[in-house]
Amino acid sequence: YFPAEVDSVYFPQVEVVGDIGSSLTRLTELVAPNPYWDFNYFERVQESVKNQVHESDSDDRFPVIPQRFVSDVRKALPEDGIVTLDNGIYKVWFARNYPVRQPNTLLLDNALATMGAGLPSAIAAKIIHPERQVLSVCGDGGFMMNSQELETAIRLKLDLVVLVLRDNAYGMIKWKQAGMNLPEWGLDYGNPDFVEYARSYGAQGVRVESAGDLVPTLRRSFQEGGVWLVELPVDYSENAKVLISELREKVCLV
């Protein structure tokens, strides 16, 4: 394994470098019960976090907010279904809100964080696991950096669904700049007609028109087979509130 490089963003008082499993096992051998620990308090904090994860997961706003589309992806996929994430702000929402049922069913290249990785990752996952449903989740920016791989999926005759989250912007950079109180420069752009774009490769293309349409659209895409592109307009207006302001307020007393 390679140790994580956290020095540029986080300065711990004590840093443990090693395999997380063996490191935690060794640490538990060194920890003694503390009479000041309030497990009822810890449980309340845990319950609060769980409740917040489910807040707004049935919200009917359109364009769709992240809490809703992450929840709907979970509903649409079986327990062994594989989700491959491109790199964008939705990656944070999936890491936070998506309950994984089996190992290696939510894949993301968090270390390199390369935009454009979502579709090739899905192709690889489908080749390895042809019997399982595979969904590639991409932002519009990341998808357009490697969208030509639709041809590969078509040529290999894969059954594969690509969910393109369209906000016409680089959402991750907007979120980071909002967190640093910086102005936005050059982060908005136009997009092609993704439905027609997919069809030009010989794939099926469909655009979601309401919040309630995502689950049935994904299920139909998997049922009919072949390569599908599902375009979903999204609303990231809650990024700063949930992922910046509310997280800053969460302080767990130890």
- The more confident residue out of 122 and 246 is 122
Q: Which CATH number fits domain 59-243: 3.40.50.2300, 3.30.450.20, 1.10.3720.10, 3.40.50.970?
A: 3.40.50.970
Q: Which residue type, as a one-letter code, is found at position 54?
A: H
Type of residue at 137 = V
CA 191 vs CA 14, 64, 88, 119, 173: distances in Å: 47, 18, 16, 18, 18
The pair of structure tokens assigned to 130 is 């042809």
Q: What local confidence, expressed as pLDDT, does residue 90 receive?
A: 96
Report which DSSP code applies to 65: P
Residue 235 pLDDT: 97
The pLDDT of residue 1 is above 60 = no
**If you search the block for the tokens 């950096």, which residue do you land on?**
145
Q: What is the tens place of the pLDDT at every residue in 32-89? A: 888 888 889 889 888 888 888 888 999 999 999 999 999 999 999 999 999 999 999 9
pLDDT above 60: residue 187: yes
Average pLDDT, integer, range 91-118: 90
Contact (Cβ atoms closer than 8 angstroms) between residue 73 and residue 83? yes
Given pLDDT bands bounded at 50, 70 and 90, which one contains residue 132?
very high
Instruction: Identify the sign of the CA torsion 239, 10, 84, 52.
Output: negative
Mean pLDDT taken over the chain: 91
